A and B are shown apart, each in its own frame.
Chain A
Amino acid sequence: MAGALKPPSAFAITPHKVSLCILVQIYASPSQVSVPFPFSSVSQHNRLGLYLLALTKSCDDILEPKLDQLISQLREIGGLLDHWLTDHLTSRLSSLSSPDDLFNFFNDMRGILGGPDSGVMEDDQVILDPNSNLGMFLRRCILAFNLLTFEGICHLLTNIGIYCKEAISSCSSYELRRLDDSGNDLESLSEYENMDLNLVFKKINEEMEARKRATERVSFHLHLPKELSTLVEDIEVFADPKSEHYDKGRESSSYASSGDLLRDFDPNGGVFLRTNWQIQGYLTEQADAIEKHGSSFTLNAFELTLRQLQKLAPELHRVHFLRYLNSLYHDDYFSALENLHRYFDYSAGIEGFDFVPPTGCNSFGRYEIALLCLGMMHFHFGHPKQALEVLTEAVRVSQQHSNDTCLAYTLAAISNLLSEIGFSTTSGILGSPFSPMTSVGTSLSVQQQLFVLLKGSLKRAESLKLKQLVAANHLSMAKFDLTHVQRPLLSFGPKASMKLRTCPISVCKELRLGYHLISEFCCEGSTMTTDGAFSTAWLKNLQKPMGSLVLSQDNSSRNNSNPFLFCAQPSSIPGSVLQLVGSSYLHRATAWEIYGSAPLARVNALVYATCFADASSSSDAALVHVKLVQHLAVFKGYKEAFAALKIAEEKFLCVSKSWILILKLQLLHERALHRGHLKLAQQVCDELGVLASSVTAVDMDLKTEASLRHARTLLAAKQFSQAAAVAHSLFCMCYKFNLQVESASVLLLLAEIHMKSGNAVVGLPYALASLSYCQSFNLDLLRASATLTLAELWLSLGSNHTKTALSLIHGAFPMILGHGGLELSGRAYITEAKCYLSDPNFSVSDNPEVVLDPLRQASDELQALEYHELAAEAFYLMAIVFDKLGQLEKREEAAASFKNHIVALENSQNVEDLLLSV
């Protein structure tokens, strides 16, 4: 009762099982011919047999099908026989009117079972082998009946009565509906609405009462038996077009004309949500859906379903877990906390079909899983300190109970936490339990601890053969390698071997290792299937061969949204694996972005968007779109980027802190900077800053980005000292939290600030420092842009440095032209032209194209970007060159363009005021 381990409830005899017994009797009636009486062919006979097999296998029920549902399934099975089968079934059932009838019935059942040693078939006679599946089922039924008390028999009798009555009333209503289909549509509509509201709270016998009095209201009955399945479909409406059509279509008059074909299937059109397996499967599926759709998943409707499920199956504690997930993704902290605790209090972490009983019988429950979940929850809600505390406890408890699997997962979670959230120090939090792993000493920095943890958890996962975890660990290892220089943990002895560079090869290696996962799952996917799942699949596929053309076409589109897909296609790759593999592509895209290869980043993002869109969670999918749109903005200008953004916005819900919203702000900021709308830029930048430190934890990446943008805005407004101060404090922060990649770009910005303020000499060391950062982290594109800045610095030092500047630019050109965006190449072209022009040995008239060609390129690109300031500069230079060449017409043209851009820049003030006022 109160023990944590509960045996499954005993095999109880129900009306549904009685009708199964009747059907078995028909199937195995003792006759002398090979094909017994009602059947016309062997295949027909076999078909019924298969059907019965499937039914008996899925008899570990929570809610059983009603008689009318059974009958309509029989219709599909029996073909020509259906009338005979149904009539026989119903008449047999309704003939059971007293307890004695039941006794006789089960005595008859005993007759169709063979003797204990009748292994061989005698003379074509069909005798049920007592050890076959059907035989076992029959024996169990007989045994269960014999164990019943007299009260139990009475209950069975009343239940059979109800069972039949429901079917009959729904049949008759069926007929009635056929007659006056269009007549009472409006009336039934309102009836439905009432029903749906009350549905959840109604109990079964109240419905019985209602049924009695509502014989004249027909639509009622069709709706009710599907209680649970309709609810499921209500949730799934967006994904399941067919059932939606069914539910809604019933009221529409157009349906009445075309729907006759479909009607025969409708009562079981909704998939039966009945067996234990199916419910578990449904819950798992919903859990995935919640994760995938995040907060766009409907909170209340699902809550209602869960509440009803809980009422029907109070011992199915998984429901609490789903509630937890539901409230987690809707940011309801208290309800999430409450439900998490409730779930683990009841289940002790040992429930559900993914539970594998431990080899050593451990009766103490597995509360370490509760701790793991609680830690993840705190992480989700942005309480990193609490999360770390809880996870530390999880480590200790799993060590205590020697639950290595949980330990591996916990370690992975901790390393994830450490890498996601900026801790400047972990001292005092990561304490004693880690000593076995961090035995090298406690003086390690956070990054070093993270590295040790990652290694440890990877090793553990590998030794436990947790493939998904191994893959996930490889990914986070790749992430670590991407942004961190490998240093030896102990720094003593000769330091000759120290190489202060990140290692792209190791990143690549880790990513590839993660990718192996999918091939492994392809080979062994079949081990995941189970008996129960097969039978469900069979029942579901029942409609296919018999169904109309419409249905079978529908099936193809339905397949990817069906809640029981994973049962039906046992060999398919689980969604979580797909997700992992997909995220490896996402990692690749990010890696290439950082290393500076735009085309490769784009290709990987595209692969992700096309191949893994189904399996990905909504936030990952949004991230990919963000990457693609950013790419567009850099290479094609803002017009196209905003067009793409619009599409993305439609696709993803623009909720409080989504990727899409951030992207929008980023784009707006950049465009405002380029167009010279400085006030707007500042406003957008402030908004980004607000997003960075929301209620749920500080997002370090976003925070650095916001202040970087702030510094850039100040720079554009020519507030040099302020810009320098902001950039400086930003650099300090980056240094503190080990954000080295960001440091490089901050240093570059500082160099630019000093250059623009006219202190080229001060700028030089910053540019050089940035260059060395870029070198050690392999940030090739950033390095190219640092080189460009360096060249600009040299150039501004005077005309005698033009050679140096020119050679620097030419060195960086391949990278800039191959991977750089519009702005970067525009800047490079202009600088190149300026170099030539300021070179005293260079004469324009000798070789005008050397200057004009880059200037033309630059002006084209900058115009696409609407970067007025630089574009004006390009046209200015062009006008001067034309002037020197004496091509007055072209000079005027260039001058006019120059003027246009200058005017646009000056007008930006007015435009901006207009924009702000809007």
Chain B
Amino acid sequence: MSSKESCRNELRTAIRQLSDRCLYSASKWAAEQLVGIEQDPAKFTPSNTRFQRGSSSIRRRFRTNEITSTPPTGVAYVSTPVMEEDEVIHGDFYLLAKSYFDCREYRRAAHVLRDQTGKKSVFLRCYALYLAGEKRKEEEMIELEGPLGKSDTVNRELVSLERELSTLCKNNMIDPFGLYLYGLVLKEKGNENLARKVLVESVNSYPWNWSAWSELQSLCTTVDLLNSLNLSNHWMKEFFLASVYQELRMHNESLVKYENLQGNFTFSNYIQAQIAKARYSLREFEQVEVIFEDLLRNDPYRVEDMDTYSNVLYTKECFSALSYLAHRVIMTDKYRPESCCIIGNYYSLKGQHEKSVMYFRRALKLNKNYLSAWTLMGHEYVEMKNTPAAVDAYRRAVDINPRDYRAWYGLGQAYEMMGMPHYALHYFRKSVFFQPIDSRLWIAMAQCYESEQLHMLEEAIKCYKRAANCNDTEAIALHRLAKLHRELGHPEEAAFYYKKDLERMEAEEREGPNIVEALMFLATHYKAQKRFEEAEVYCTRLLDYTGPERETAKNLLRGMRIAQSSFPSMDVEHFHP
């Protein structure tokens, strides 16, 4: 990887160029990464470094391998020459236009630049027109408010923009920024293949524009598509790959990439949040919580990605922390889908499902393709026993992103609630297909098979086995497996699973009726098998518990002693087979 210093220099130039072209979110992103690079302590005052130190605590706690600081060998990074600024003539008009743009008067900005031919001016004019169209589109969407899910409003500038940009592109009079805009327009118009091509060209010649990368990412919906891209090696590509992997649910690959990147960009909040999201998908909630806490300490007014944090808090049932988070985001920015989602989560945790639905709806008003809000709203409807509405909400989520296993799972649950287990199976199958490592999905499917209507126990056993193999935290699977095998008359398997379950419960220091049940079965089983020593161990353990089982255990023990003493030959036989 190129040295930190060169990264810094590239980013500094890029930030200037990006914000000069009013590509604010890209420049914001670049600036975040710039500050994320570990500073040379020699050059900076202690106050500067103190600002950065805060975040290292979690790295110390969770960085298991320190290989990240060394760049991967064998990868030669292309250094892309920094662009040179072209025009100086008509600079005054540009300044005016940019001021208008900054005041969000897009059409005025475009009008000022109407006769300018420099690449920079052309880009800004087109970009301003595009944004004006977008703004109008958003407004119209609210004004014309059809039923949700329907939007026949389009950006009215797209056609003319496409025509102009394609001519420029043909005549080779376009810079990487123009290409980015062209790609954006093409994507909106549904011409995805060409859009991909154009965007790849843009990022290859100017890699620091994160917006272009994100557009490209949204167009890479499969691994094959990703592999077909012809991207030159630049350190920005690593960011891109990490993000694409995450989107394609290749969480481990994504984590590796991010941890590698952390070597250079040690203090990047962005990377930290992405790592948290990846770990969230891998269901490592404890770590995620720590990361987010740390993130909020450094960046207290952050709203991005905080919905993931709220999901973690929800799962861990941290009422006060969730309410605190909700309060904080609402003070920061009330009208963000993330904020609404966090509040919805809070009300859901409190059991106030109507209010929760209201906030999810608000989130959807702000962004109707906000996937997790549809899914979460579905959950709320399930809680409210309004299954048809829940089904509808989940289905919308699934139609937005067919890989959303939570919504598939929700659909299955809803149908199971309505007493249609066979119909529900279809949805459970879909959900485990997309997320085969989640034990809860397998357990839900197994329970479906187990239901009295279907009573397909063999299939249920298969599902429970899968669940037991993928780290079943609630330890349902083992117990159910043991029980099912016992019911089906497979004592050997039953004993095996009871034993495993017992070991597990011991390891986690759990108490409860399951232990007694397991001990009871094992004792009788081994007695029937004439393996008295083992049976005796379990019986004596049973004596620690109160209740009828204790008496049974005593009886068993007594029986075994009599058997052993009266038939010593049996004993011999047992030990000398």
Contacts and interface: CB of A to CB of B under 8 A. Distances in A.
Interface of A: 1-6, 9, 149, 151-152, 155, 201, 203-206, 209-210, 311, 314-315, 337, 341-342, 345-346, 348, 363-365, 367, 370-371, 374, 389-390, 393, 396-397, 400
Contacts of A152: 143
B173 interface: no
**Closest 6 pairs between A and B when the two form their complex, measured CB to CB:** A4-B388, A345-B395, A209-B159, A365-B388, A151-B143, A314-B150
Contacts of A400: 419
B143 A155 contact: yes
Contacts of A397: 418-420
A337 B426 CA distance: 9
A364 B419 contact: no
A374 B392 CA distance: 19
A34 to B, nearest CB: 44
B513 interface: no
Interface string B361-399: 100100000000000010001000011110111111001
Contacts of B395: 342, 345-346
19 contacts: A2-B148, A2-B377, A3-B388, A4-B391, A149-B143, A151-B143, A201-B190, A210-B159, A314-B149, A315-B150, A346-B395, A348-B391, A364-B388, A364-B418, A367-B415, A367-B423, A390-B422, A393-B422, A393-B453
A400 B419 CA distance: 9
A393 B423 contact: yes
B85 interface: no
B373 to A, nearest CB: 11
Contacts of B139: 151
Interface of B: 139-140, 143-144, 146-150, 152, 154, 156, 158-160, 190, 361, 364, 377, 381, 386-389, 391-396, 399, 411, 415, 418-423, 426-427, 453-454
Contact of A3 (B149, B392, B421): B392
Contact of A314 (B147, B394, B415, B418): B147
A203 B381 contact: no
Contacts of B418: 364, 367, 397
B388 A348 contact: yes
B361 A1 contact: yes
A2 B156 contact: no
Contacts of A371: 420, 422-423
Contacts of A5: 388
Nearest to A314: B150
A389 B388 CA distance: 23
Nearest to A1: B148
A9 B392 contact: no
Given A314-B147, A348-B391, A364-B388, A209 B423 contact: no
Given A206-B154, A389-B454, A393-B453, 5 more contacts: A2-B389, A5-B388, A152-B143, A209-B160, A396-B419
A152 B146 CA distance: 13
A374 B425 CA distance: 13
A356 B453 CA distance: 29
Contact of B381 (A2, A370, A389): A2
Contact of B392 (A2, A203, A393): A2
Contact of A203 (B150, B154, B453): B154
B156 A205 contact: yes
Nearest to A311: B152
A772 B381 CA distance: 66
Nearest to B360: A2
B423 A2 contact: no
B423 A370 contact: yes
From A315, A345, A364, residue with most partner B Cβ within 10 Å = A345
Given A9-B147, A155-B143, A365 B387 contact: yes
A311 B190 CA distance: 14
Contacts of A348: 388, 391-392
A314 B423 CA distance: 25
B261 to A, nearest CB: 39
A1 B426 contact: no
Nearest to A4: B388
A19 B423 CA distance: 50
A1 B156 contact: no
B411 A3 contact: no
Contacts of B423: 367, 370-371, 374, 390, 393
Nearest to B411: A345
Contacts of A345: 391-392, 394-395, 411
From A1, A4, A152, A389, residue with most partner B Cβ within 10 Å = A1
B420 A393 contact: yes
Contacts of A201: 190
A6 B150 CA distance: 14
A346 B395 CA distance: 7
A690 B18 CA distance: 68
A597 B161 CA distance: 77
Contacts of B381: 2
Contacts of B388: 3-5, 348, 363-365
A2 B396 CA distance: 9
B324 to A, nearest CB: 30
A363 B27 CA distance: 52
A315 B156 contact: no
B147 to A, nearest CB: 5
Given A149-B143, A315-B150, A397-B418, A364 B387 contact: yes
A155 B145 CA distance: 12
A4 B389 contact: yes
Nearest to B395: A345
